[in-house]
Amino acid sequence: MISLQSKKHIKESRGTKAMIEIRDIKLAQQGDEEATEKIFHEYQSSILRNNRKFFLKGAESDDLLQEGYIGLMKAIKSYDETKNACFNTFANLCIRRQIITAVKTHSSAKYQNLNSAVMGEEYVGFEEVTKYNAPSINFYNPEEIVLGKELVKLLENFLVENLSDLEKKVFYYLCKEYSYIEIAETLDETPKKIDNTIQRIKKKILNYLGTYVEK
């Protein structure tokens, strides 16, 4: 039995009046379907919001939605009120991390030769690239990086501060969907030098995204 004193109310997502109690979480941890369904229902809007932040190219629209529910189930099973923050914070963190992990895994395993960046709406780049609405940026032999909209501004600032002048120029032409051969001709550089520059850009972006996911 759960004593009345042990109950804690956890605020749900903005605009939702319902409350999830510690009792609901503990019942769900024990396999109670009604309690689990209640939590799933209350977090549906949160999962949808997180789902819209990411675009997984080549996958069905429900794929990331399913990942969000997997993340929520993981939160339910592993939540410990004596160790974790409030359940709302913990659950949203698990949902977000599950979706990001799914995106990175999907990209790495199945889309080695596709676009290296996919944005849901628009990309804000350097001063010359103020708006980018095309669906892809073609890298030479890339590993796909899928960027959620919340990462766009952070990534922009990171690239401005950490790319060399040549890397910025190469990245600009990548955004314009130039091939590495066309970039080499445009910048009067050798294809090998452009290829090496692209690899450095890729490495910097991957390292940054890896740091972001670990936070």
Question: 110, 135, 156: which is the final residue of a domain?
Answer: 110
HSE toward the beta carbon, residue 63, CA cutoff 13 A:
14
| pLDDT at 158 (0 to 100) | 83
Residues 100 and 157 in one domain: no
Distance CA 167, CA 53 (A): 27
Helices 165-175 and 180-187 pack at an angle, to 10 degrees, of 130
If we measure between CA atoms, which residue out of 74, 13, 11, 21 comes closest to residue 44? 13
The structure tokens 């290296």 sit at: 116
Please return the burial class of 57, using the count of CB atoms within 10 Å of its CB with bins 0-12, 13-18 and 19+: middle
Are residues 98 and 74 in contact, defined by beta-carbon separation less than 8 angstroms?
Answer: yes
Distance CA 215, CA 12 (A): 23
Residues 125 and 31 in one domain: no
Strand runs labelled E in 39-156: 117-118, 145-146
Residues 155 and 191 in one domain: yes
Give the CATH number of the domain where residue 101 resides: 1.10.1740.10
**pTM for this prediction:** 0.44
| pLDDT at 93 (0 to 100) | 86
Strand runs labelled E in 78-207: 117-118, 145-146
Domain span holding position 167: 117-214
Question: 76, 110, 144: which is the final residue of a domain?
Answer: 110
| pLDDT at 89 (0 to 100) | 84
Distance CA 62, CA 13 (A): 21
By three-state DSSP, how is residue 83 classified? coil
| pLDDT at 84 (0 to 100) | 66
Return phi, psi of residue 81, to 5°.
-65, -20
Residues 122 and 106 in one domain: no
Are residues 148 and 53 in contact, defined by beta-carbon separation less than 8 angstroms?
Answer: yes
HSE toward the beta carbon, residue 177, CA cutoff 13 A:
8
Specify the number of domains making up the chain.
2
| pLDDT at 2 (0 to 100) | 35
| pLDDT at 156 (0 to 100) | 77
Residues 202 and 136 in one domain: yes
Are residues 136 and 177 in contact, defined by beta-carbon separation less than 8 angstroms?
Answer: yes
| pLDDT at 120 (0 to 100) | 34
Per-residue pLDDT of the chain (215 residues; tens, 9 = 90+): 333 333 343 333 333 334 678 899 999 999 999 999 999 999 988 888 877 766 554 455 567 788 889 999 999 999 988 876 688 888 888 888 888 777 767 655 443 433 343 333 333 333 333 333 333 344 333 333 444 555 566 777 888 889 999 998 898 888 877 887 888 888 889 988 998 999 998 888 888 776 655 55
Are residues 123 and 132 in contact, defined by beta-carbon separation less than 8 angstroms?
Answer: yes
For every residue of 63-82, DSSP letters joined together read: HHHHHHHHHHHHHHHH--TT
| pLDDT at 38 (0 to 100) | 92
| pLDDT at 196 (0 to 100) | 92
Based on C-alpha coordinates, what's the Rg of the chain? 21
Question: 110, 136, 171: which is the final residue of a domain?
Answer: 110
For residue 27, the one-letter residue type is L
Residues 103 and 13 in one domain: yes
